[in-house]
Amino acid sequence: MAFVRAIKKKYGTYYALVENKRINGKVVQKVIKYLGTSPDTQEIQIDPEIAVTIAQTLMSGSATATDVKKVLKNIGLPIKGRLKQVSLIYKPPLRKFTLRVE
């Protein structure tokens, strides 16, 4: 069973999704995925058509967190809890859009 673990470093706290495994009678933690500085961050690959809709909403300047949640829900990406930050990322070499939600 996987769980989120806080890893305290000199420059701040980072989070990782880890699981415990028993190897040779000892419990060892295996990192499944690094989550960065926020355990609530989600990264979702999205289509360019959906990216256009999200970009228009984000760049309107008058969109509230509720408006952004409604747009994400309408395109099939429901967000639970408080919406802290939304980023639309384009990776030119891969020609892919990623939506990062905190």
Q: 31 is in which domain, residue-wise?
A: 2-36
Mean pLDDT of 77-90: 81
User: Does 49 share its domain with 75?
Assistant: yes
Residues 46, 65 within the same domain? yes
**Same-domain pairing of 93 and 71:** yes
Same domain, 23 and 49: no
Q: Say whether pLDDT at 11 is over 80.
A: yes
What are the Cα distances from residue 47, in Å, to 12, 69, 99, 100? 34, 18, 10, 14
7 and 21 fall within a common domain: yes
Q: What is the pLDDT of residues 50-82, one digit of tens each?
A: 888 888 888 888 888 888 888 888 888 777 778
Each residue of 13-56: pLDDT tens digit? 888 889 999 999 999 999 988 877 777 777 788 888 888 888 88
Statement to judge: residues 48 and 78 lie in one domain: yes
* pLDDT given at position 41: 73
This prediction's pTM: 0.58
What does the chain look like in DSSP terms, one character per residue? -EEEEEEEETTEEEEEEEEEEEETTEEEEEEEEEEET-TT-EEEEE-HHHHHHHHHHHHTS---HHHHHHHHHHTT----S----EEEEEETTTTEEEEEE-
For residue 12, is pLDDT > 80? yes
In degrees and rounded to multiples of 5, residue 2 shows phi and psi of -90, 155
- DSSP class of residue 81 equals S
